[in-house]
Structure 1
Amino acid sequence: KNVEFVKEKRLVQDFLSMLAKNPNHVTYGEKEVRDKLEKGLVKTLLISAGIEKYRVKFKCQGCGAEKELTLVKEEMLAKGGKETCEKCGGLMYEEELRSIVDELAALAEKTNAQVEVISTETDEGKMLLGSFGGIVALLRYAAQE
């Protein structure tokens, strides 16, 4: 277990060092990391074990429109598996539900990115979740914005 913590600390420290020295070689936040994963730019995905978010896909019963949202557990329960369609005003029902950790890990695997799940049992792990939303990536090469 200690060996794993040492590895996790080093990975987070590598990210922080890269963020300070070469900020265009890293990215963080769900939207930004998802974008870089879809473009195949991510070398290593660091994701916090403490993330409790879900990717929910809704489909409209009326017009067939689809919508994907990232929700925390409380938001999911409040929606009750339903959403209002922005196109026709009809009712959208939950069609698919995945943990954000599983979803981003699957995206990473498609492009052969390394996936590291970081515990919240170290200071670095707590900082990853608290300061960066628990989702960061080291990129294969500098991203052009």
Structure 2
Amino acid sequence: MDVLLLSEDLRAERVTTNCSVCGYENKWTRRWKPGEPAPSPGNCPKCGSSLEVTDVTDVVDEFSELADKSNAKVVFVSTDFDEGSQLMNAFGGIAAILRYSTGV
């Protein structure tokens, strides 16, 4: 990837939940809006005990770190313009310009 395009309105977190009783672990991504309360992690599907949130990482931070490792540029796109709104609505706020041709 040469350029990572991220919407400035992208709000998502990568969440890790664990069960302290049986050791079950689950990683998932949740989207949220500012001011919205975080949902409950729920119960363990294996033993029924309460799950605990053990790690929360902002996806913008995670993607930015991955882009840096591959020497890609990160560009934040405003939703104040039509193109930025399309990026958010059609692609979920995430797109990339590839470094090499895919041959398609």
Output the TM-score relative to the length of structure 1: 0.59
2:38 equivalent to 1:77: yes
The two structures, once aligned, show a CA RMSD in angstroms of 2.3
Map of 1:1-145 to 2, 5 A cutoff? 42-73=1-32, 77-79=38-40, 82-143=41-102
The 3 A distance-change label for structure 1 pair 86 and 112 is farther
Deviation at 1:143, TM superposition (A): 4.5
Q: Does the aligned pair in 2 maintain the 1:58–1:83 contact within 8 Å? A: no
Which of structure 1's runs of 4+ aligned residues deviate more than 4 A? Answer: none
Query: How many residues are treated as equivalent by the alignment?
Result: 101
Q: Offset of 1:109 from its aligned partner?
A: 1.6
TM-score, normalising length: structure 2:
0.79
Structure of higher RCO (CA pairs closer than 8 Å, 6+ residues apart) = 2
Gaps of 5+ in 2: none
TM-aligned CA distance change 1:90 to 1:125, over 3 Å: same
Identity of aligned residues (%): 38
Secondary structure of residue in 1 paired with 2:79: coil
TM-superposed deviation, 1:128: 0.7
Amino acid at match of 1:120: T
